[in-house]
Amino acid sequence: MFNMETKKKVILTGMQPTGKLHLGSLLGATNNWQRMIGDYDCLFFLPDQHAITMPHIPAELRKNTLDCVAQYIACGLDPKRCKIFLQSQVIGHAELMWVLACITPIGQLERMTQFKDKSKKVGDSVCAGLLFYPVLMAADILLYNADLVPIGDDQKQHLEITRDIAQKFNGTFSETFILPEPYIGETGARIMALQNPTVKMSKSDSNQNSVVYLVDSDDAICKKIMGATTDSSGEISFDPENKPGIANLLDIYAASTGQSIADSVAEFSHLTSYASFKQSVADAVIAKITPIRTLYQSIAGEKEYLLSVLKDGRQDAQKRASKMISKIYRKIGFLGNL
């Protein structure tokens, strides 16, 4: 289903501005986002309201937010061809969340994997914001009637509850929301940790050798990849279940070079040890990251420029959000602005 107002399908996605972007962010997310800009109406936002569901330092959040904007741009998200904005600067996200929360069963939220996992770690001190995280995510998507949402394959549950909420609203108050579909890239959809390739690469990993950051030096990148966990067979094949370390490095190499997994396996199938393979992976990652790091370093200190990008994005997003909120308020019985 096409969004008739923009003619192009609407893509909406974002990442929390809670730290440095890493290789998984690049190959599993922004790499694909950059390719979409010409074909879709692209909205890339920074969900800073989601970022406060866990304890945080306000000054760090502000700094990380601007750093993340700079990294978005350095990864190829040209603000002249797409919109980049902050969730907290657009009136409508929290308002729509409340409307949607009023039709969402609390039992459905309590069954969400993310809530169950994180609440186990913090016990009774878990905040209500974490419970309602999926409803805010649904509001983020539905506020712009997004057709497609680029997600990792571990995030499907959140999109499923968004579709459930949208269907319930449509059935209760009449057709309003497009049911968003997931967009998952063919390669790099889920880059795993270098030291533990059974879990996703994450900036919160306690072992920083598991994570390659976009601001890492060439030497640091090489050291981390050369030290990646593999196995003792020496055989290069794509077998995520039995050879997760090699499968992860093949995924990284394929996504970094643009090759298929099959071609990547064929390229290295003659090798009998992993050292040369790892060096090739490191070289490919360095070639991918170096221009990004260089551009980031050149614009990271340009605060006025970064703020102007966010202002332009906010103005566009607010027009869309205000129109949708007005429509929703009428449907649920609010008088709206007088």
Which active-site residues does the annotation give? 118, 200, 203
Partner residues linked to 14 by β-bridges: 45
What order of strands is seen across the sheet that includes strand 10-14? 83-86, 41-46, 10-14, 148-150, 181-183
The length of the chain, given as a count of residues:
338
Tokens of 82: 């797409």
Which candidate, 73, 47, 285, 240, places its Cα nearest to that of 158?
47
- Cα 69 to Cα 29: distance, rounded to the nearest angstrom: 15
d(CA 110, CA 91): 27
Distance (Å, rounded) from C-alpha 105 to C-alpha 90? 26
List of residues 6+ apart from 164 with CB closer than 8 A:
108
Structure tokens at 248: 């992860």
Residues 6+ apart with CB under 8 A from 287: 256
Bridge partners for 200 per DSSP = 192
Q: What does the radius of gyration of the chain's CA atoms come to, in whole angstroms? A: 21
Token pair 């390229």 in the structure block, residue:
267
- How far, in Å, CA of 142 to CA of 156, rounded? 16
* The two structure tokens encoding residue 324: 């949708």
Q: Which residues, in sequence order, are bridge partners of residue 182?
A: 149
**Residue 84: strand pairing partners:** 44
Q: Is 14 helix (H, G, I), strand (E, B) or coil?
A: strand
